[in-house]
Amino acid sequence: MRPRIRKIAVYAGYFLVLTGIWGVFLFPSDELIRYVQCGISQIAPDAMLSIGRLGLSLPPGLKMGNIAVSLQNKSVVQADQIRFLPKISLRSFVGYKNVSLFQDINQHPLSASLILEEIRMELPLPVISSFQFKQIQADISWQGEKLDIITFIAEGVQLDASLSGSIQLKTPFENSKLHITGVVHPKPETLTRLKASFLGGSILNQKTDGGGQKVSLPFQITGTLQTPLFSY
């Protein structure tokens, strides 16, 4: 009985090795990159997405490297790596046909976890325009014209942040409506720069933890992607 089990285990291991070889050498990365870029251009014609490499990752998902996003020919976001981990429920396989990673989001919501590493952002903000983040983890759900940000946790050089909310997608893309709330934890140097930009050197709605070491700044973002409205 044991030799038979060992034989089955050997065949199973051999099959997994062949599957891994297929994933590395035969994975259609170039075609998938073009597919993703085409999808982005349809949603946001003024945006351009560059992906240096794309492949499979474990847990099952996609891993992209050397990513750059520009808007109206201006660099907005750069990331060394992004991992896309789709959440496929049993319901996707029972009672539905032809459901895949790139399923019809009008009929079936697409839920996924995103893990971004070494991110650089350029934003048109008055005090701090450049941001660096070591890692960003997010859980999202997309159905129809609504993108839900369930969780979003960022660990950065200038600040840490957490937020949640939704984006109501519109055409053109820059008219998409924002409904986002969150909390920012600025690092000491960033906090000093922020205070210097306010009259009297104080920030409204500033909160601290019990020991007074960690500063929290709650915020809300409404308006559109083109004209966001910030409230503190």
Chain-centroid distance of CA 209 in Å reads: 28
Output the pTM of the full model.
0.76
pLDDT mean for each 10 residues of the chain (232 residues)? 53 50 56 82 84 82 90 87 77 43 60 92 76 93 90 94 93 89 90 72 63 79 88 82
E strand spans, the chain: 47-57, 61-71, 74-86, 110-122, 130-143, 146-156, 159-168, 177-186, 207-208, 215-223, 228-231
Whole-angstrom distance, CA of residue 27 vs CA of residue 19: 11
pLDDT in the model for residue 125: 67
Among left, alpha and beta (phi > 0; psi -120 to 50; other), residue 200 is left
How far are the Cα atoms of 67, 96, 101, 164, 211 from residue 91, in angstroms, in the given order? Answer: 32, 7, 14, 26, 47
For residue range 122-172, what is the model confidence (pLDDT) as tens digits? 876 667 778 899 999 999 998 888 999 999 999 999 999 999 999 998 888
Is 41:70 a contact under the CB 8 Å cutoff?
no
**Strand partners of residue 79:** 67, 119
